[in-house]
Amino acid sequence: MEQKPTSNIIQATEPRKEIQLSPPQVKGGMPLMEALGERRSKRSFSGSGISDQQLSDLLWAANGINSHAAFRGQPGLRTAPTARNHQEIELYVFIPSGIYLYDAFNNKLVLVREGDHRASAGEQGFFAEAPLSLCIAAHFKKMEAYTEEKKQFYSAVDAGYVSQNIYLYCASEGLCTVACGRIDREVLHNLLLLDQGKAILSHPVGIE
């Protein structure tokens, strides 16, 4: 598959408080059954980046807004379901300029931590090699009606939906990724400022 131009957002080293993403392209792509056939876990990453458009599309596919119809207290619906539509799952983007929170409702990245922390997204060495990584985290403040046991269970299930969306988008675009649960949660909770939450999975993303 012909690769798209490399990304200015991903390759930049100077942090920005906010990065407005291009509108996601929500039409086209590989047919679902073909993407399922191509879905793989790949752990080899070159230094190449992906395009700004691919970054926007990846985040939308993972957990973006696919409807602005209000439902159960939320102003819109996501591409990944959550228990009782709590929408407790958030995505953190690790790139050379910093760690950013994906603001799905405004389609932008919001700076959380300056600096290149890609190696901290997971414990395996390939996290430092991948041009970007996504950390899937749960914000338990949005699940206050649940017991601790239910928070842990349902957030893990909901994170799985997001993880599969990442896999399918990468399969469709010819990108490499792998879901990793071997992460240092204490380090990530500090980096991501998670006072009432949990880092669940990390996905390095790039080109083989």
Q: Using one digit for the tens of pLDDT, what is the confidence trace for 164-174? A: 999 999 999 99
Q: What is the pLDDT of residue 46?
A: 86
Nearest to 202 by CA among 189, 176, 184, 183: 183
Domains of the chain, with CATH numbers? 8-206 (3.40.109.10)
Lowest mean pLDDT among 4-8, 81-85, 154-158: 4-8
Position 191, amino acid: L
| Whether residue 10 has pLDDT greater than 50 | yes
Q: Using one digit for the tens of pLDDT, what is the confidence trace for 113-139? A: 999 999 999 999 999 999 999 999 999
